[in-house]
Amino acid sequence: MCYQGLRRRALVSPHRWVACLIVPLAALCSAAPATASVISYPGALPALTTSYYEQSGSSSVMYRQGEAAGKGGAQGIVILDFGRPAAIGATYGTMGFGGSFISLPAIVTGVEGFIRAYFHYAPAGMTLDVAVGTNDSCGTGQPCGTRICGCNNEPVSFYAYGGAWALAVEELRSWALDLKAAGGYTDTVRVVAADDAEPAYDPGYRNTYELLAGYAATVGGSEPAMVDYGSAERSWTEEELLQVAYGFRPDVPMPQVYYSSQAGEWANLLSYAKRARHLNMTIFGVLAGADPAAAYGEMLSAAERVTQQHAIPWLSTLTS
């Protein structure tokens, strides 16, 4: 199962290719010709999934999350958001939403628990992308109250951090394939990366760029994907917003649409991509707030006006 799209390598070095990823509930599709500019998807409102702000690295908690996803027949994408990048000594990880450090090995173990439970409880033939998420908050140069500061336990190099995140995602991706084969499961689970990239979190932009650049360089292609589930307000330039959402080869935009204005901001970015780059940018998902149907409808209407995109494959909400 796939979605197809005319895609672009890092904007500093343009290159086109066709990317193919999982689309839940979609029929098999053939590769789009290199001149394609409009992507069509079957169906109307996609299945809504529950994504999670992870409070800790508890594998038992994530196992229960995977159990709930499996029993609910979740299809599409589930984001497991572990919080901002962090490092203690030579150990990379995140500062989880419970306030404690979660090491990258603990993140890997926790995600394995989620996937193991999903395989065990899901009906046959399901498809799910499991996104291992971080964010770009608390970066060097970010305003902290009335002064400019970084945060405790920041990675020394966000580029190296992005590379380490890529290796963890690739390890999980391979592990999930092995588990499927060993267990004889018919469900399809693919592990991808994700970043809640928001301009307000990193006004200087550099840390966000370096993390995504390090991730892209390490995976060396379009997969595993890097899902941008952030916002698109103009405290970054349009070129910077486009670079984050669609510029590196793995990048997949999944706009955060908690308010109507956010759909409009993403529509402005779609217009910029079309006008300045002659690029029909594909929206792959919507991260919704309290009213998922409204958020999906607003984002789809905005995309239709600019790029004639007729459906969006993913729809999810985040909860603690």
Provide CATH code, domain 48-319.
3.20.20
Residue 143 parent element (H or E): strand 142-144
The structural domains of the chain, with segments of one domain joined by +, span 48-319
Determine the average pLDDT of the residues in 265-281: 97
Could you tell me the two tokens for 207?
């840390």
Tell me how far apart the alpha carbons of residues 251 and 258 are, in angstroms, rounded to a whole number.
21
| Per-residue confidence (pLDDT) for residue 90, from 0 to 100 | 95
**pTM as predicted:** 0.86
- CA gyration radius, the chain: 18
235 pLDDT more than 50: yes
19 pLDDT more than 50: no
Q: 172 pLDDT band (50/70/90 cuts)?
A: very high
Tell me how far apart the alpha carbons of residues 307 and 124 are, in angstroms, rounded to a whole number.
35
Determine the average pLDDT of the residues in 92-118: 96
124 pLDDT more than 70: yes
Q: 146 pLDDT band (50/70/90 cuts)?
A: low
81 pLDDT more than 60: yes
Instruction: Select from 7, 3, 17, 34 the least CA-distant residue to 273.
Output: 7
Tell me how far apart the alpha carbons of residues 274 and 278 are, in angstroms, rounded to a whole number.
4
Tell me how far apart the alpha carbons of residues 246 and 252 are, in angstroms, rounded to a whole number.
6
| Per-residue confidence (pLDDT) for residue 55, from 0 to 100 | 94
75 pLDDT more than 50: yes
7 pLDDT more than 80: no
Q: In whole angstroms, what separates CA 143 from the centre of its chain?
A: 25
Amino acid at 43: G
Could you tell me the two tokens for 286?
């919507």
Residue reference for tokens 């759909």: 263
42 pLDDT more than 50: no
Cβ atoms of 125 and 73 within 8 Å: the answer is no
Q: In whole angstroms, what separates CA 129 from the centre of its chain?
A: 10
Q: 30 pLDDT band (50/70/90 cuts)?
A: very low
Determine the average pLDDT of the residues in 11-34: 31
